[in-house]
Amino acid sequence: MEDNYTYDNEPAVGSEGTGPEPVNDQSDAAAAAATAAAATASAAAEDTYDTSAVTEASADTQAQDNGQMGQAGQTIQPEQPGQAYGQPGQTGQTAPPPYQPYQPYGQTYRPYQSYQPGRPWQPYQPVQPVYGQPPMYGQPPVYGQPPVYGQAPVYGQPPQPAPMPAAPDQTDAEPKAPQNTDGQLFDEKDFAAGTVPPFAQPGQTGQPVPPYGQPPIPPYGYGAPVYSPAPGGGAPADPVVPPLSEAVPQRKPHTAVLIICALVVVGLLTAVMLLLARNEKEHPSASTSSTGSSDAVNVTIEIDKRPADDKSDYADEASGLFTVEGAAKYIRPSTVSVYCYLESSISPYASGSGVIISEDGYIVTNAHVIEDVDRVNIQFYDDTKTEAKVVAFDKRSDLAVLKVNKNGLTPAVMGSSSDLSQGETILTYGNADGFESTATIGIVSCTSRQIDSYSGYPIDCIQVDAALNHGQSGGPVIDMYGRVVGIVVSKHYATDVENIGFAISTDFAKPVIEDLIAKGYVTGRAMIGIHYSLITPDQAATNGTEPGLLISSIIDGYDIANTDLKPGDIITEIDGRAMNTASAIKTIADDYDPGDKVKAKVYRKDPLKEEEGEVFEIEFTFGELSNDD
């Protein structure tokens, strides 16, 4: 336990300070004589210290007024009679406050230090005091020295400590505590009678040593006592010790209360058990069985049988209108999954879907699915696989035709996209991201929507809101009559955009598919007969030329080869239409048929000459695009 000290000294006033006249427990006459002798000795003494042991008998003649506090065999005397005393062991300082009654604070019992002149200090045993070292924070105080927190006290020049008397041997004999006149330990009666001298901190002069081996009364742990001056300026009053309080007997719980609590607990447990038993009777579906040391709960879940469905796959069998289930079942055998490989690849390079259009193995899909691949495999709805051959494909329309060497297939029924109505229910089917035979349902959002194909040419489509996923390109879009009304081609990707998908309308796809099978290319498309590069208006302004079609070569066999046009010329207009954008070039062929005659404006400039270029006009006839072009 940490030793706590409390000091309530009056302010120091140096050697000329005044304070209450110190007195001891002797008579007034004896005190005056002792004070006069102490003053005479103090006046003749120098600030020196005799290091030899000083006995109590020679203390009057060898006393020094500034010896270190707590040195054995020395007498502390004031400089003048009646002068105040200061810190323990110092002369010429204000005396500590007189005694006051104890105040119990729950701390270590440390009485206030008070010295009386003319009495030697007796060391406390068995603890040996350490001289010349002040107590610090967190360290036990050294008996016989005042505690100074954080720094050593400076009392002029500190004297050298005198040899300490040897401590009595405490190893064999148990020290005895002080006893009263009856030969017994001090008790409450002694304190009440005032016969017990005040206890003091070990090492204080004029006070008895605290009992050893017996807790004092009041016991240690009551904190530092506070002293008050005695009435009339006499000797300090003995500390007022409050009587010990009688032990408060602990109340024991009444037996009846314990019995009532036990009955309540038993009643609650009984009620819980009855509720559990009742619940088991009302809900016997879950049975509990115990096997060995573990409990297993066996629960049987009954599966309800679906009522017999006498309906067919038709919503209206007379008209051929399918239910959604009937439409999905109807289109399934006519849909295939398409897997494309490069020459050295093991895993598919691309995947898509396809629609069987003939029993002998013709399959329609998208051109962007099979373009630039070396091998194509087909997987049917029954998981059989075979290799397919690319018959032809058209990048403008994004359509392609495949052929498998297999007969007896189930072709899809083709319908007209012009028969569709906005809001009509449709169903898609295909290889959605590797999940074969995936069906999604939606409605027709728009019956006719023109979009650009992956090659940039316009194609006619229907817009649907059914879910379309990677791998469904080339798959069918069917109406509720089971007819294919579109070929899935793309979906609209944009932030915060959902359910905008497109399928090439069958009315647009039918002639293309037939031409690809019959001739290997699409017939009836107008062809100028040139190879060119587009010069945009920005490029023309930068290079000091005109925007249009920069001719790189002329294809033999076309009528334009018979005009004055030559490589390096720029066609700026065809039939009054400016040819300075990609879309203008792509639409010109769709607006004219082979055999149509048109006029074109041409800009020519010799790059080796600085003169202005010339503009002239030509006339030619559109040819027909062939498979070789």
* Residue 146, Cβ density class (10 Å: 0-12 exposed, 13-18 middle, ≥19 buried): buried
Going by C-alpha positions, the residue among 478, 540, 527 that lies closest to residue 503 is: 478
Tokens of 136: 């610090």
Q: Within a 13 Å sphere around the CA of 77, how many CA atoms are in the beta-carbon half?
A: 30
Among residues 520, 509, 311, which one has the least CA distance to residue 412?
509
Catalytic residue list contains 628: no
* Catalytic option among 65, 190, 353, 368: 368
Three-class DSSP category at 320: coil
Widest Cα–Cα separation across the chain: 158
Q: Give yes or no: 433 in active site.
A: no
Task: Produce one character per residue of 353-391: b if its CB has 16 or more CB atoms within 10 Å, e if not.
Answer: bbbbbeeebbbbbbbbbbbebebbbbbbbeeeeeebebe
531: annotated active-site residue: no
Question: Three-class SS string for 387-447?
Answer: EEEEEEEECCCCEEEEEECCCCCCCCEECCHHHCCCCCEEEEEEEECCEEEEEEEEEEEEE
Contacts 24+ apart (CB under 8 A), 155-158: 155/66, 155/87, 155/89, 155/90, 156/47, 156/66, 157/47, 158/68, 158/132
**Token output for 306:** 């679906």
Active-site entry in 398, 460, 515, 569: 398
Both tokens of 363, joined, read: 């399959």
Choose the catalytic residue: 114, 353, 453, 473: 473
CA distance 75 to 54: 9
Residue showing tokens 């999905």: 328
Return the active site residues.
368, 398, 473
